[in-house]
């Protein structure tokens, strides 16, 4: 439900969020009360020492105070377990109980302070009694400090602005008032988010690019979050319900009902060849990450293999390669690619906002000049990722709508300037004039590589791009169609990044709001079952998530997100899951690059299983990635080492790939 209103402001915690912390405190308090009672019963005969009367009074009052606190916490837990996320009616007494609980902290603090003072100055009793009292004082202060930290965590800087409207229903606000409310919230939210981002990224320099990225990121977050009043636990419950709902739909779907987009015989014919090329060029995309990924993939032997390169100073061999900040990256790059020093033209690990590391190498096996762009590995890269608004590109191609993700297009333009203005590509092709240009990258690097290949298409008509796990929100529709001629994207399983864009995030928010609004179970049951389901699996059909018969009369507090999205006719909100998604003009729908090869897992490997996942490869349409899928592997499927293992498995299981010649797939342009 929306956050609770206490002391005239909204907090980032709901009245049904107190079940688990309440149970924890109740458990500790009961143990504490039993321990103090045991101490008092066992040693009350030994309290005739100097200061013993004080200790006896202290323990007696503490037992009474703890009993009152235990009863209050028990009442809070019982009330918090009532109702559902959107039905807070049974929990209407929660605010009063919390006021009582907070008021009890005052005598507890006073009594803990007095106990500490008496122990320090006035008591000379049995050592066991004194140690027991010291333990009670320490526990008292630990709980008090923990409560203060919790209050700081759940403090919502926007709460003072949102509290007066937290319980307003749509019919209490006309269209103009509701619009003014949302505009005010978005303005305040943008300022708050920018402050948060600057604090988290305080170690990054404050150049012009960084300031622009801060503003862009704050605008994105405020646009996405300001029209909902969900607390974090609501989102967690919504994601849990969506995962179960998604699995239930898939389990109940007949095989013939599964949608399949057939790309045609011409694409099927070169699937093996392109898989072979993807497998080969993935080593360059991985090498661009440098030593961190290499050590991660080889935890026991990696450091020994490249340690010498890290420790020794730059040698004449390194001077053959132009670049900066090589450090021990070069050794890992050589190990990953299997190339020699002389095969590299340029390696750069210069890393700033909108400026990505990259390498240029000569691949003699495939007769190609390879440009590999690194993916996300730093705060600067995250800022580049989250500069998600669309910008128009000045491209020399016959495409009407040349727009793309702003941050990634800026990064691609930086690499383009380095390649052309610094003469890096000219140097590479002077060494191998008959070779063709291949551009690769993973994640953020895949998006930059796709845009870079479009920028270089005019001067290098035969350029090829292999984009591994690229972001969905990258290209306009026309650029997406144009990129199919020379770009192949590879997506593994449920990887969230190729499904991630502002449009799909808005769709995810819509689905979370809908599933929460229709859920007939209390939040603590949703989260408990969800944890069990994620860890051990189960039958998703055993946990109903819809109100019986669609009856929503129990929804005493509709979600602000539903109100505002319905009131303003948000194009991204509809109760029909088949409705087309749209976005504000600043965030139009964007698409992944090129033709897409999807590696799908066969069956399931289970939550805790040594079973090695098996994958099948197929050509897929971009529409199969227009919705974020929830699952345990939605993040791990994006990791480059997992992708490399999956590629190894797929290529090994396809005998046809063994006979694929180096030129076969790389030189096929789809028109």
Catalytic residue among 385, 495, 507, 637: 495
Predicted confidence band at 320 (pLDDT cuts at 50, 70, 90)? Answer: low
Catalytic residue among 443, 489, 564, 620: 443
Which tokens go with 541? 């059909």
- Which CA distances in Å does 588 have to 56, 504, 585? 71, 11, 5
321 has pLDDT over 70: no
**How many CB atoms are closer than 10 A to CB 328?**
19
Predicted confidence band at 12 (pLDDT cuts at 50, 70, 90)? Answer: confident
**Predicted pLDDT at 261:** 46
**Predicted pLDDT at 231:** 85
97 has pLDDT over 80: yes
**Predicted pLDDT at 125:** 65
Which tokens go with 656? 């046809």
Q: Is 324 noted as a catalytic residue in this protein?
A: no
- In sequence order, what are the residues at sequence separation of 6 or more whose Cβ sits closer than 8 angstroms to the Cβ of residue 480? 591, 592, 593, 594, 622
Closest CA to 638 of 404, 411, 480, 444: 444
379 has pLDDT over 60: yes
Question: Rounded to an integer, what distance in angstroms lies between the CA atom of residue 631 and that of residue 534?
Answer: 8
Predicted confidence band at 576 (pLDDT cuts at 50, 70, 90)? Answer: very low
Instruction: Quote the percentage of the chain above a pLDDT of 90.
Output: 34
Identify the H or E element spanning 385. Answer: helix 379-385
Least confident of 338-347, 397-406, 559-568: 559-568
Least confident of 216-220, 336-340, 505-509: 216-220
**Predicted pLDDT at 469:** 96
95 has pLDDT over 70: yes
Predicted confidence band at 342 (pLDDT cuts at 50, 70, 90)? Answer: confident
Predicted confidence band at 49 (pLDDT cuts at 50, 70, 90)? Answer: low
Torsion of CA 498, 499, 502, 504, to 10 degrees: 170
Least confident of 119-123, 215-219, 315-319: 315-319
Q: Is 443 noted as a catalytic residue in this protein?
A: yes
Q: What contacts 24+ positions apart, CB below 8 Å, involve 415-424?
A: 415/356, 415/358, 415/371, 415/373, 415/448, 415/452, 416/452, 416/455, 416/456, 418/348, 418/358, 419/360, 419/371, 419/452, 419/456, 422/346, 424/322, 424/345, 424/346, 424/360
Give the residue with greater pLDDT, 581 vs 360: 360
Alpha-helix runs per DSSP H in 518-635: 523-536, 560-567
468 has pLDDT over 90: yes
Give the residue with greater pLDDT, 394 vs 123: 394
Least confident of 68-72, 88-92, 202-206, 517-521: 202-206
Least confident of 51-55, 265-269, 285-289, 369-373: 265-269
Question: Rounded to an integer, what distance in angstroms lies between the CA atom of residue 222 and that of residue 215?
Answer: 10
**Predicted pLDDT at 23:** 93
**Predicted pLDDT at 121:** 64
**Predicted pLDDT at 170:** 43
**Predicted pLDDT at 563:** 46
Predicted confidence band at 77 (pLDDT cuts at 50, 70, 90)? Answer: very high
Q: What is the mean pLDDT of residues 533-559?
A: 57
User: Can you count the helices (H) and strands (E) in the chain?
Assistant: 24, 13
**Predicted pLDDT at 268:** 57
- In sequence order, what are the residues at sequence separation of 6 or more whose Cβ sits closer than 8 angstroms to the Cβ of residue 282? 440, 442, 466, 468, 490, 640, 643, 644, 647
Upper half-sphere CA count for residue 128 (Cβ side, 13 Å): 12
Predicted confidence band at 561 (pLDDT cuts at 50, 70, 90)? Answer: very low
pLDDT digits (tens, 9 = 90+) for 585-635: 578 899 999 999 999 987 654 454 445 678 899 999 999 999 999 988 899
**How many CB atoms are closer than 10 A to CB 585?**
8
Map tokens 């602005």 to a residue. 161
Give the residue with greater pLDDT, 134 vs 110: 110
| Mean pLDDT score of the chain | 79
Least confident of 68-72, 146-150, 621-625: 146-150
Q: Is 446 within 8 Å of 470 (Cβ atoms)? A: yes
76 has pLDDT over 70: yes
Predicted confidence band at 581 (pLDDT cuts at 50, 70, 90)? Answer: very low
Q: What is the mean pLDDT of residues 294-316?
A: 71
Q: What is the mean pLDDT of residues 458-485?
A: 94
Least confident of 42-51, 527-536, 602-611: 602-611
Highest mean pLDDT among 84-93, 193-202, 288-297, 486-495: 486-495
**Predicted pLDDT at 41:** 81
Predicted confidence band at 178 (pLDDT cuts at 50, 70, 90)? Answer: low
397 has pLDDT over 90: no
Least confident of 470-484, 572-586, 649-663: 572-586
Chain centroid, CA 570 distance in Å: 25
Least confident of 152-166, 281-295, 305-319, 400-414: 305-319
**Predicted pLDDT at 556:** 45
Q: What is the mean pLDDT of residues 429-444?
A: 95
122 has pLDDT over 60: no
Instruction: Quote the percentage of the chain above a pLDDT of 70.
Output: 75
Which tokens go with 327? 């450090």
- Furthest-apart CA pair in the chain: how many Å? 100
């Amino acid at each position: 439900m929306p956050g609770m209103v206490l002391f005239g402001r909204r907090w980032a915690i709901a009245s049904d969020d107190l079940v688990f912390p309440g149970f924890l405190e109740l458990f500790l308090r009961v143990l504490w009360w039993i321990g103090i009672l045991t101490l008092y019963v066992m040693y009350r005969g030994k309290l005739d020492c100097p200061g013993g009367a004080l200790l006896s009074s202290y323990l007696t009052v503490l037992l009474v105070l703890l009993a009152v606190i235990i009863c209050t916490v028990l009442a809070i837990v019982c009330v918090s377990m009532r109702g559902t996320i959107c039905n807070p009616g049974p929990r209407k007494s929660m605010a009063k109980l919390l006021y009582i609980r907070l008021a009890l902290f005052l005598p507890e603090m006073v009594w803990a302070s007095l106990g500490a003072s008496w122990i320090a100055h006035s008591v000379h009793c049995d050592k066991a009694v004194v140690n027991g009292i010291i333990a009670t004082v320490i526990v008292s202060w630990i709980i008090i400090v923990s409560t203060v930290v919790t209050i700081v965590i759940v403090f919502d800087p926007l709460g003072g602005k949102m509290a007066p409207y937290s319980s307003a229903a749509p019919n209490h606000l006309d269209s103009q008032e509701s619009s003014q409310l949302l505009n005010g919230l978005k303005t305040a939210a943008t300022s708050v988010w920018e402050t948060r981002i600057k604090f988290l990224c305080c170690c990054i320099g404050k150049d012009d690019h960084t300031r622009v990225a801060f503003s862009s990121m704050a605008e994105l977050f405020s646009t996405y979050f300001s029209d909902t009043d969900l607390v974090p636990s609501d989102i967690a419950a919504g994601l849990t319900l969506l995962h179960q709902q998604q699995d239930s739909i898939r389990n109940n779907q007949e095989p013939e009902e599964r949608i399949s987009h057939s790309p045609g015989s011409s694409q099927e014919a070169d699937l093996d060849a392109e898989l072979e090329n993807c497998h080969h060029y993935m080593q360059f995309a991985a090498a661009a990450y440098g030593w961190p990924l290499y050590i991660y993939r080889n935890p026991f032997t990696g450091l020994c293999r490249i340690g010498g390169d890290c420790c020794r100073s730059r040698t004449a061999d390194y001077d053959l390669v132009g670049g900066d900040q090589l450090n021990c990256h070069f050794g890992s790059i050589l190990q990953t690619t299997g190339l020699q020093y002389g095969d590299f033209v340029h390696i750069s690990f210069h890393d700033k906002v909108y400026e990505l590391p990259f390498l240029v190498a000569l691949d003699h096996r495939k007769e190609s000049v390879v440009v590999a762009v690194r993916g996300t590995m730093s705060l600067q890269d995250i800022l580049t990722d989250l500069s998600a608004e669309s910008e128009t590109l000045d491209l020399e191609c016959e495409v009407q709508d040349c727009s793309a993700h702003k941050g990634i297009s800026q990064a691609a333009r930086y690499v383009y300037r380095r390649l052309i203005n610094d003469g890096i590509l000219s140097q590479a092709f002077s060494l191998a004039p008959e070779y063709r240009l291949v551009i690769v990258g993973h994640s953020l690097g895949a998006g930059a590589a796709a845009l870079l290949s479009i920028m270089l298409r005019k001067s290098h008509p035969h350029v090829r791009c292999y984009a591994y796990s690229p972001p969905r929100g990258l290209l306009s529709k026309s650029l997406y169609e144009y990129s199919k001629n020379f770009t192949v994207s590879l997506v593994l399983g449920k990887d969230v990044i190729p499904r991630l864009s502002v449009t799909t995030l808005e769709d995810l928010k819509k689905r979370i709001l809908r599933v929460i609004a229709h859920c007939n179970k209390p939040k603590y049951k949703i989260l408990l079952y969800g944890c069990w389901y994620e860890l051990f699996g189960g039958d998703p059909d055993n946990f109903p998530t819809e109100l019986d018969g669609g009856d929503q009369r129990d929804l005493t507090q509709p979600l602000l997100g539903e109100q505002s999205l319905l009131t303003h006719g948000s194009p991204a909100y509809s109760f029909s899951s088949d409705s087309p998604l749209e976005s504000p003009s600043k965030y139009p729908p964007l698409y992944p690059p090129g033709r897409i090869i999807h590696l799908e897992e066969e069956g399931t490997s289970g939550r805790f299983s040594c079973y090695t996942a098996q994958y099948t490869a197929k050509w897929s349409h971009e529409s199969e990635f227009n919705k974020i899928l929830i699952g345990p592997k939605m993040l791990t499927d994006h990791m480059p080492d997992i992708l490399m293992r999956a590629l190894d498995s797929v290529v090994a299981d396809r005998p046809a790939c063994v006979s694929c010649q180096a030129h076969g797939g790389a030189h096929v342009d789809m028109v």
